[in-house]
A and B are shown apart, each in its own frame.
Chain A
Amino acid sequence: MARARTVARPTIPAPEKTSIVLVVNGAERPLKVAPWTTLLDALRDYLDLTGTKKGCDHGQCGACTVLVDGRRINSCLTLAVTKDGAHVTTIEGLAKDGTLHPLQQAFIDHDAFQCGYCTPGQICSAVGLIAEGKAKTVDEIRELMSGNICRCGAYPNIVAAIEQAMGQS
């Protein structure tokens, strides 16, 4: 029953791929990507790092948040090819030797998620938030975490988890 339509030789070529290197969670990951591959798709589809999530693919939800050279960004709006040589930290790179990152532990302690789908983005975003050092009050945490939508509505618990981790750092 298998069939594929007989197609004349393809006349619209797929884009040429170029070789790049991403340093993902400390490890060099050489990769061949087409220009149109986003950092998000490179992580999920080509490096099998599916911890980084696709929630909207348009920079509207924050589920795809990763840290590039230490700064939190939306990987869905970033072309992988533009980040050749960059250091990328994803949710998979936060725990060290089996010990959870303080934010990961705080998210569990405060039940700061339900379905878990926005969670990697929330946690990476919070890592960036703490590194930025601009959030001193609860209002500032809320505002600077507003780029990460949680449809389960765990916001108060997310804020509590971040406060706990900030107290430790």
Chain B
Amino acid sequence: MQKYIGTPTSRIDGRAKVTGEAKYAAEFNAPGLVHGSVVTSSIAKGRIVRIDASDALRVAGVIDVLSHENRLPMASTDSAYKDETAPKGSPFRPLYEDRIMFSGQPIALVVAEEPEIARFAASLVRVEYDEEAHVTDVFRRRDEAVSLEPSTKPPESIFGPPKPRGSAEKAFASAEVRHAGEYYVPIEHHNPMELYASTVVWEGDGKLTIYDKTQGVQNVQRYVCGVFDMKPDDVRVMSAYMGGGFGSGLRPQYEVVLAVLAAQALERSVRVVLTRQQMYVLGYRPAMIQRIELGARPGGTLEAITHEAITVTSQYEDFYRQESGWSGLLYTCANAKYVHKLVRLDLPTSCDMRCPSAATGVYALECAMDELAVALKLDPLELRLRCYSDRDQNTNRPYSSKSLRACYHQGAEAFGWDKRSPEPRSMRDGNELVGWGMATGIWEALQVPIAVRIVLSANGHAEVSCATSDIGTGTYTIMAQVAADMLGLPMENITIKLGDSTLPQSPVEGGSWIAASVSNGIATTADAIRGELLRLAKQMPNSPLADAGPDEVALADGKLVSTPDASRAVSIVDAMRHGAVDRIEQEKSTTFADDGSKGHNTHSAVFTEVKVDEQLGVIRVTRVVNAVAAGRILNIKTARSQIMGSVVWGIGMALHEETLLDHTFGRVMNANIAEYQVPVNADVHDIKVIFVDEPDATINRLGIKGLGEIGIVGVAAAVANAIYHATGKRVRDLPITLDKLQR
């Protein structure tokens, strides 16, 4: 019955992407389209005294210069600006007022007939500021950090630190073997390849069609309606393709506000494309100072875990995730304590970036575990196995499935871990020191309410639609695979529609929750289609399915088939023809009942090999094996790519990525992708992805967990641990650049 689910399948949007036909937000056109160029603040804090646009307005082809001084009315309450992923606080309002809260803040939009004219004129806008002292350095403010307390109320209950258990201080103090260390992860930026852009098409009569770069079209639609007091029917947001998001497109970004402001002011269609530099204020992975204390018995039993985290946010919103909580969840340990503090800086609000909290929190934990293994004179993998837990240690409940042990074994075997010589600096290849490191990964298997519509035509074709996005994750393809199997149709008969706010409800695409949610959504809606087909089939004269109950039929090979007796079947085409219907349409919402009795997580074991030039410190990551347990894999081909891409992210996090702030100016100085370095092709060598078999009968009917985040978790730690093994040098602040090996 399931011909497509689980099989390696090429992307159905592949042809559009390799031919250039796939259109992204800045690539839609409209009659009379005009172009906006953004002017940004050069100071980090203060007030705008004056915006002098007179020169800009004198340029032929310039239509207007919009700022807080002359904009149309916008909502004046915080709630209007709160999108479905907004943290606590008072969201940033673009062009709202004279207050400057971060360097690079948008303060004006120059609109012109041609993009080059807009950009030129933007350079002529002069701004006078009343500047105030700013602080952008987390280390300068760490002593003033604000503590987050464990809570039962959201969002603190979800994102604040978990409750402690036992007495970690006492257990640590009396532990025979101890390790304590401080780890640092700098601010990182998503840097998706596509520039943020919004093309707002003025449809007349006040209606707008907005092509926006976003991970959530309905989130943007609601936001625009709130900010501009518009009716939902008047705002349609589209994002059929997105050139990478990685979390940066979860919240509506300012380009859409500016483009709508201009479209309404001018009653014309407007396109606003940000520059790469301007994208560095759209949110970032918060810098994070972490202190971890681990106490153990000589045999490798963990006695105490304390994880203290300090993360960065803006002055106006408190963004945080449960950065410290992973430490006590993962391994068996009776005593655990968490501290999470926030440092508020004169920066934009931090935000979700690929695997928020775990990418950073587990990095620190897994480096600390490696250091503990050294102190215990235990193989790092052996230590993990000795601390293995079959229960979520924070909530003390079993998992719906957890195949981490198999990840360890299969990953180690594929890597050849048993040939590792334990001593640092003991393996070498000519001028290079060779190091092998490993780490564990963990992420949540989340599910969200979602709605799916299926329209089945009498010719045996089906259109499946949902307002979710495909940000490169392969959503189009897995939706088609699941729909084809659930409807018993060939995959080429399935058309997928997504990325349109008029389609059935979907939350933002993030947190690795869409694959599981939308797949089960399709299954639920397909049930309704099947029920309707059965109703029609029963009405046929001498129907072979006359007595079949709704659960006794399945759709396969274009037919409704009795499951107890496969010889009894009615073709979809016949059933619909007899019923005189040319289409069956069903839309169903799917929710995921969870009694909270089980933990739902994905896991991984990452093994890396690095080679470090002994004299020069040049580091190469020559091999990575990532063994992943993430429930049922819908499409081995695209799933492997997702994990591989995450590993590349992990390599970047370990070796390259760092947003450099000049604290004198409070300004990002490497706001480009030459100096903010991400891995290039030459940095990436052999990456092997293993999917460990992990049946999960209870998480959802298809046993799906999701893969967008898990692949990055543990990679930076495994690289850092391998570098230690190669060189004997423990670098505890990322990225590990060669100069840090000299210190």
Contacts and interface: CB of A to CB of B under 8 A. Distances in A.
Interface stretch (B9-17, B174-182, B452-460): B9-17
Contacts of B116: 34, 36-37, 41
Main secondary structure of the interface of A (DSSP, over half): loop
Given A34-B116, A90-B20, A95-B19, A4 B472 contact: no
B397 interface: no
A115 B194 contact: yes
Contacts of B244: 114-115, 117, 151-152
A10 B20 contact: no
Nearest to B687: A156
B679 interface: yes
Contacts of B63: 4
B266 A61 contact: no
B62 A10 contact: yes
A157 B14 CA distance: 14
A129 B207 CA distance: 47
B18 A10 contact: no
B146 interface: no
Contact of B60 (A10, A57, A61): A10
B635 to A, nearest CB: 9
Contacts of A148: 681
B683 to A, nearest CB: 8
A14 B59 contact: yes
Contacts of B29: 48
A63 B62 CA distance: 29
Contacts of B275: 57
A69 interface: no
Contacts of A109: 10
A86 B16 CA distance: 27
Interface stretch (B488-496, B641-649, B721-729): B641-649
A148 B680 CA distance: 7
Given A150-B193, A156-B684, A44 B644 contact: no
Contacts of A54: 26, 195, 273
A53 B213 CA distance: 14
Contacts of A81: none
Interface string B498-538: 00000000000000000000000000000000000000000
Interface string B47-70: 000000001011111111100001
Interface string B257-292: 000000011110000010110000000000000000
A154 B265 contact: no
Contact of B682 (A2, A11, A143): A143
A83 to B, nearest CB: 17
A1 B474 CA distance: 43
Contacts of B679: 153, 155
Contacts of A116: 13, 16-18, 22, 241, 243, 472
Contacts of A41: 115-116
B332 interface: no
B64 A5 contact: yes
B682 A56 contact: no
Interface in B1-50: 10-11, 13-24, 26-27, 29
B15 A51 contact: no
Quick one: which of B190, B195, B267, B647 has the most chain A CB within 10 A?
Answer: B195
A51 to B, nearest CB: 2
Given A54-B195, A94-B19, A152-B472, 15 more contacts: A8-B58, A13-B60, A36-B120, A54-B26, A57-B195, A90-B20, A91-B19, A108-B11, A111-B11, A113-B14, A142-B682, A145-B681, A152-B193, A153-B684, A156-B686
For the complex of A and B, list the 4 residue pairs with the smallest distance between their C-beta atoms, beginning with the closest: A51-B20, A153-B648, A117-B243, A115-B472
Interface of B: 10-11, 13-24, 26-27, 29, 55, 57-65, 70, 72, 114-117, 120, 124, 190-195, 241-246, 264-267, 273, 275-276, 471-474, 637-638, 640-642, 644-649, 672-674, 678-682, 684, 686-687
